[in-house]
Chain A
């Protein structure tokens, strides 16, 4: 969990309620197709009217990998001074069928399995600790 000092780098993607964070997207008013992040036009039916959509916070792991090497900039979660910690990355399938790409709090391949239930969290992803955070999914 992030502490108050860690800056959330993507506040526009999230809403915070009593049960925790949920992801914000949009939905096409004409055909109902969901989108994340929120968009202005539907690439499916070509209409240009979207409405806000709360995508929830729970889903199932649809695919996963582990990032084993430090990405080059613009990645800002590692440094020469503080080093790099491998992290999980996956697509999580939400209730509406959309699969959202996200960091995973689990990075051990032995503990990651397609189909496992996942929950949205805010993750402190940078080094040093408590500097920056983003949305992620954790095994439930």
Chain B
């Protein structure tokens, strides 16, 4: 790619529960914060991409920020919505169709588990009626098989969650700020075995936004622009194990995370060994374990020893989810992919209060996955 794109402004509305603000108001809060961070006005934005699963159309934000006539595309890619929004904003800058672009996501989910409707996903009614249409079941079924295939114990699931809550306690912006011990996590109520209550993120509320521009002009707006060396989205091939699958093909093929990850490393011209700070999708402990290997950070089965050795801690060689991830921040579907990028930007700027990775990290990585098999990966650099 001949044009480098930079992030010059980032904004976040606290994740968790904010009864006094609607979802779109939380999105507007994040967007205004990102614009202020960049020193750019809303009427300078030439393209916007945004998404929300449960809080209405993202382009309702124009009612809050102003009606300027800009092209504003609503994005709907499940939990990968933020990744698609960001990759689209990058493409708008690279194509020259906008000088400044934004990616924004927000959500405000009802309490309790998600309850997707079969028809929305092209599935028959019996699938939902008989109780097979649950994301928590998918994570459990995939995790169960993965632990079996690669000789991992259920302890690994507790270790992931323990680290997430430990990091959340150090993050002033996190929702869950109380550390939880591995024994308490392992003893928590079964949800879908082998996954238990404290191994799952909770649907929540929040908003996140970024302002982008051509890297050539970025230093006029940001003291430390963050370069998007790669912003990739890939969907599944026949044969991968995805959510909402009444059957799985005889031959297994690599997940969309694998194809997105490889394409991102190639686009950025770096490898996993070059990454200093990482955000991995952690809707549940099992997913984080699987995605660690799929994104190239370890071999399948190596995850437990990495966790036990402290390698994935803030001061380890592979710091993962330094802000506590989805487990400690909750999961507002439209926003989470951009929360990941927000955290990496803070880390690369040296502004991650209470949880800064030491040694001036230079290269960061984000991975997000959503139904029905979409993966978004970014590689960021200062």
A residues sitting closer than 8 Å to B (CB atoms) are: 9-10, 13, 25, 33-37, 43-44, 62-69, 71-77, 87, 89-91, 96-103, 109, 114, 125, 132, 134
Chain B residues near A99: list those with CB within 8 A.
247-248
Contact A66 B190 (CB under 8 A): yes
Contact B137 A89 (CB under 8 A): yes
Chain A residues near B128: list those with CB within 8 A.
74-75
Indicate which residue in B192, B238, B239, B250 contacts A96 across the interface (CB closer than 8 Å).
Answer: B250
A-B contact count (CB 8 A): 122
Chain A residues near B1: list those with CB within 8 A.
none
Alpha-carbon gap, A98 to B252, bound state (A): 10
Number of interface residues, chain B, beta carbon within 8 A: 38
Indicate which residue in B144, B190, B239, B246 contacts A36 across the interface (CB closer than 8 Å).
Answer: B246
Contact B248 A98 (CB under 8 A): yes
Contact B126 A134 (CB under 8 A): yes
Q: A66-B193, A98-B247 are in contact. Are A74 and B132 (CB under 8 A)?
A: no
Check B153 for interface membership: any CB of A closer than 8 A: no
Q: A67-B134, A91-B141 are in contact. Are A74 and B118 (CB under 8 A)?
A: yes
Contact A100 B192 (CB under 8 A): no
Q: A63-B145, A89-B141 are in contact. Are A71 and B246 (CB under 8 A)?
A: no
Other contacts beyond A9-B129, A68-B192, A72-B115: 8, CB < 8 A: A9-B130, A65-B195, A67-B131, A72-B113, A74-B129, A100-B247, A114-B148, A125-B131
Q: A67-B192, A71-B134 are in contact. Are A33 and B249 (CB under 8 A)?
A: yes
Residue of A nearest to B123 (CB): A37
Chain B residues near A134: list those with CB within 8 A.
126, 129-130
Contact A103 B132 (CB under 8 A): yes
Query: What distance in Å separates the Cβ of A75 from its nearest Cβ neighbour in chain B?
Result: 5
Q: A43-B238, A64-B141, A65-B144 are in contact. Are A91 and B115 (CB under 8 A)?
A: no
Indicate which residue in B130, B144, B195, B250 contacts A98 across the interface (CB closer than 8 Å).
Answer: B250
Query: What distance in Å separates the Cβ of A113 from its nearest Cβ neighbour in chain B?
Result: 10
Contact A74 B192 (CB under 8 A): no
Contact B113 A63 (CB under 8 A): no
Alpha-carbon gap, A122 to B134, bound state (A): 21
Contact A62 B250 (CB under 8 A): no
Residue of A nearest to B118 (CB): A74
Contact B131 A44 (CB under 8 A): no
Check B189 for interface membership: any CB of A closer than 8 A: yes
